[in-house]
Structure 1
C-alpha cells in the first residue's frame, strides 16, 4: 500500500510538472498582468477641477468625513531606473492632457504596481493638496513638511488601479505632448506631464572635449547631476539625473534626436526627468548652435574681404559663418588707425572658447589663400586655419573633415604685452586635389584661465 501510494504521488507530480512546463517554450515567459479590483467608486471630480483647488500659498486639506472626493489619472513616471524617488507623477488623460500632479509616497518600486500608463484612481479625503517647492502635489498631513509622504502601509486607502473589465489593470498607451522647443516645456500647464521635443542634443560642453556620464561621482558615490540640453531653435533645458539612477555611469549620447521627459520644477528651476534611457532617441548627427550670419553665402574662387563695410563691434556677417562652437563669444569687427578687422580673444572671459570664422570658397576655381594677422598679449597659440569640403551649413563642426593648413602661415608669438601690427601671414597654394564648394576656417581656441591671446585678422584674399 505504501509503495502504491508513493507511486501515485510521483506520477501525479510528473503529470503536474509536465502540464506546467508545456506552457513554457524556451523560457519565453509572458509578462504577468496585474490583477486589480475597482476599490473606489466612480470619480466624483475631474482631475483638472481638483487641481484647481490648490491655493496659491499653503495647502488645501480634503475633508476626511465630507463627500467622497475621487479622481482618475494616468501614470507618466517610473522609478524602475531609479530616477524617480518616492514620488509618482500622473496626468488626467493619456493624450493631450490638461493637468499633471505629483503624489508623495513613502514607498519605492512603485512601477511594479503602477507601470507607465496605468489608469489610477485616488480617493483624496484626508490628503492635502498644494504647491510645494515649485510643483503641485498631493500628500499626507505632516508635522514637518507642507505636504508629506503617504506611508506605504496605508497607501491603498488612497490610491488604487482601475480595472479594464477583465480584472486586469487598465494600462493606456501614452502619447507624449509634442513641443517645438525645450523652452516651451517651461510652463506650469506641462508640470508632471509627459512631453517630447525633437531635434535635441546634449550641449557641446557636456560631450566635448570629454563625453560625460549621466551623473557625477565623488569617491565612487553617485551624485544628483544636471546635464544641459540644446534644441535646434535655440531652446535650452537641463535634465536632472538621480545619483541612484541605474544608467548614471553610462556616457551621454553624442548625437541628436527626440527626447521624451516628464516636466518638473524645483522651486524656480526647471529640471526635466527621464524615466530611463529609452526616453532618449538620438540617432541623427549633431546640429550647430551658436552660429551667426550665413544668410547670403556664395561660394566663389576669387574675392577679397577687408571688413570696411561693417560697423564696429558687429558680429553678424551675412556672407560668412561666425560660429561659437564652445563659449558665448564671437569674432567681432574692431578698428585701429582707421582700419577695420575681425578680432577674437578669451581675455577677461570665463571658461573655454572655440570660435570659428568660416569663409565660403569654390575650391575648384580657387588657387591661393592669403591674409594679414596680428596678436596681442600673447601667452599661447590660439589660431589655427583649416579647409573643409564636406561641412553642411547648420550642422555641428564635428561632422566635418577639417584639414589643418596652419603650418603654411606665420602666426606671431609676440608681443606678450600690448599689440603688434597686422602683417602678411603668407600665401597658401590650394592643392589641385581640393575641389568643390567648402570653407576656409579660422579657428580661435582659448580659455580663461589658460590661453587668452588676442587674434586679429584682416584682408582675406582668395585668388
Structure 2
C-alpha cells in the first residue's frame, strides 16, 4: 500500500525521536511524545449500538450523555483518514478493534495535528450524535443538524497518545460481493461503516477517459463508479474542489484503498488521493484518452427521441405509478410553456416509499452496431435521488429491468436542467428494446425528479 505522503512525515518524526534519544549534543528541540490522560471506557461498536436508532432518521440527533457510572464517555482509536488533498473535508475518521466513526471538525489541514495512524482518545459527552444519509457522525449543532466543532474544542476533547503508527492504520480487505449482502445487516453496518478498506481486482468506469469530477474547482461533488468482474459496482464520491478533481481516473484493474461510507442505504467510497488509493495494477494517464471506436464508426444519427419539452403529450407507459398516499408518481407536466416528465412521492409534507417506472415504446436497434442515450434532468432537493433513481433498459418481451448508471446529475439547490451524460446502450445493439427511468423513494426522502429531451443515437 502506497501511503508515501503520510509515511514520509512519520518517518521524519521517528528519525528525529531516535536522534534525540541517542545524542543530546545536537542543538534541536526535543521530540515530545504525547501521553493521553483519558482512559477509554467505551468501544466504538458499543457506542454505535447505543445510538443506532438515532441514525436511522436523517433529521434526528441526540446529545451524548455521561455513562451509567456518571463518567464522560471516552472513545479511542487510530486515525485512518487524511484531509491533505481536500476530499476528506472537515472530517476525521478513527477506528478501534470493533468499528470506525466519523467526527466533524470545522478546520483545515487536520492531518498535520492528527495524521494517519495517530492514536487519539476523545471525550464525546456533550457532543451531538446524528447521521448524514444514515451514516453516524459526531459533532455540534449546525443548521438544525450535526456540524463541525471548532478545532479548539476538538483539541480540548481529543488527546493524542504516542507517535503515529501507519502499521496500525492499514486498510481492511473487503469485496463488492460482501458489501452487496450487508446493506441491511446491522452488525455489518456497525463494523464496516467509516472503515478504511481495500478492494482488489476492480476498475473505474471511464478509467483513462473521464476526470475524477465533472466540474473541477466548483462547489459540489461528482459520482464515479468502481466495478468488479462479476458486475458489482460501488459509487465513488469526489469533491469538485479537491486537489485531484481535474486529474484523469486511473485505467486498468487494481486495488482501491478508500474510506467506506454508507449513504441512504448504499455503500460508497471516498478516496484520500489517487496515488495512495489506486494501487497494484492501476495505470495513470495525464490526459483523457479517446475511447476505442466500435467496429463500425458511430454516425451520430438520432435513432429515437422523446420527452421533447414542446410536446403536449407523450406515448410513454407508467408502471407502479401509485402507492398508498400518492395517486400518481410519474406525470407529464408543463411549466411556463415547457413540458417535462415529473416524478414525486412527496405529498402533504410527507415522503412515501415507492418504486415506479416510466418507459418508452419498443425501439428498434436491430440494424445498429452501437447506441447511446442521454437526457436532461433537474432536481432541487436531493436526498435519495442519486441512490434510488436511475435509467433502465430491457429487451422486448422481457419483464425485468436492467439498471443503468447515470454519469452526471444536476446540482441540487435549484431547478436547472443538466445533461445526464452519455449512457452506453451498445450491449443492446442488434436488438429491440424499451428504455425508461426508474423513480425510487423512501420514508426518509422522496425527491422531485424532472426529465426531458431524451435521445438515443448511434
| Contact 2:77 2:121 survives alignment (8 Å) | yes
Q: How does 1:331-342 map to 2 (within 5 A)?
A: none
What does residue 12 of structure 2 align with?
31
| Aligned-partner Cα distance in 2 for 1:282–1:193 | 20
| Contact 2:371 2:424 survives alignment (8 Å) | no
> Paired residues, what number?
272
Post-superposition shift, 1:200?
0.4
| Aligned-partner Cα distance in 1 for 2:90–2:282 | 35
Distance 1:153 1:258, change over 3 A: same
What does residue 242 of structure 1 align with?
239
What does residue 172 of structure 2 align with?
177
| Contact 2:251 2:282 survives alignment (8 Å) | no
5+ residue gaps, structure 1, are 1-27, 286-322, 335-349, 358-373, 377-446, 452-463
Q: How does 1:66-215 map to 2 (within 5 A)?
A: 66-93=70-97, 98-140=98-140, 142=141, 144-163=143-162, 168-169=163-164, 172-181=167-176, 184=179, 187=183, 188=189, 189-203=191-205, 206-207=206-207, 211-215=209-213
| Aligned-partner Cα distance in 2 for 1:197–1:325 | 32
Post-superposition shift, 1:178?
1.4
Post-superposition shift, 1:355?
3.6
User: In terms of mean alpha carbon deviation, does 172-181 or 246-255 score higher?
Assistant: 172-181
| Aligned-partner Cα distance in 2 for 1:235–1:375 | 24
> Secondary structure of 2:245's partner?
coil
What does residue 46 of structure 2 align with?
49
Distance 1:222 1:35, change over 3 A: farther
> Secondary structure of 1:51's partner?
helix
| Aligned-partner Cα distance in 2 for 1:246–1:60 | 35
| Contact 2:196 2:257 survives alignment (8 Å) | yes
Post-superposition shift, 1:202?
0.9
- 1:190-229 CA-to-partner distances (Å, cap 9, x unmatched) read 11001111110012xx24xx701111227x6364111111
Post-superposition shift, 1:269?
4.3
What does residue 353 of structure 1 align with?
425
| Aligned-partner Cα distance in 2 for 1:262–1:29 | 21
- 1:63-102 CA-to-partner distances (Å, cap 9, x unmatched) read 3693132121111111011111111111213xxxx32111
| Aligned-partner Cα distance in 1 for 2:244–2:47 | 36
Q: How does 1:410-421 map to 2 (within 5 A)?
A: none
5+ residue gaps, structure 2, are 1-8, 15-30, 55-59, 184-188, 284-368, 374-391, 399-421, 433-453
| Contact 1:329 1:355 survives alignment (8 Å) | no
Post-superposition shift, 1:139?
1.5
What does residue 65 of structure 2 align with?
63
> Secondary structure of 2:255's partner?
strand
| Contact 2:85 2:244 survives alignment (8 Å) | yes
Distance 1:56 1:356, change over 3 A: closer
Post-superposition shift, 1:448?
4.5
| Contact 2:38 2:159 survives alignment (8 Å) | no
- 1:21-68 CA-to-partner distances (Å, cap 9, x unmatched) read xxxxxxx99623574432432212222222221141343423369313
> Secondary structure of 2:13's partner?
coil
What does residue 418 of structure 2 align with?
none
> Secondary structure of 1:52's partner?
helix
Q: Considering only CA atoms, is the larger Rg found in Structure 1 or Structure 2?
A: 1
| Aligned-partner Cα distance in 1 for 2:260–2:202 | 15
1:252 matched to 2:249? The reply is yes
| Contact 1:119 1:169 survives alignment (8 Å) | yes
| Contact 1:36 1:169 survives alignment (8 Å) | no
What TM-score, normalized to structure 2? 0.52
| Contact 1:352 1:448 survives alignment (8 Å) | no
> Secondary structure of 1:255's partner?
coil
Kindly report the root-mean-square deviation, in angstroms, between the aligned alpha carbons of the 2 structures. Answer: 3.7
| Aligned-partner Cα distance in 1 for 2:121–2:228 | 36
Post-superposition shift, 1:268?
3.7
| Contact 1:326 1:355 survives alignment (8 Å) | no
What TM-score, normalized to structure 1? 0.51
| Aligned-partner Cα distance in 2 for 1:252–1:184 | 23
Of 218, 221, 224, 1:221 maps to: 218
What does residue 435 of structure 2 align with?
none
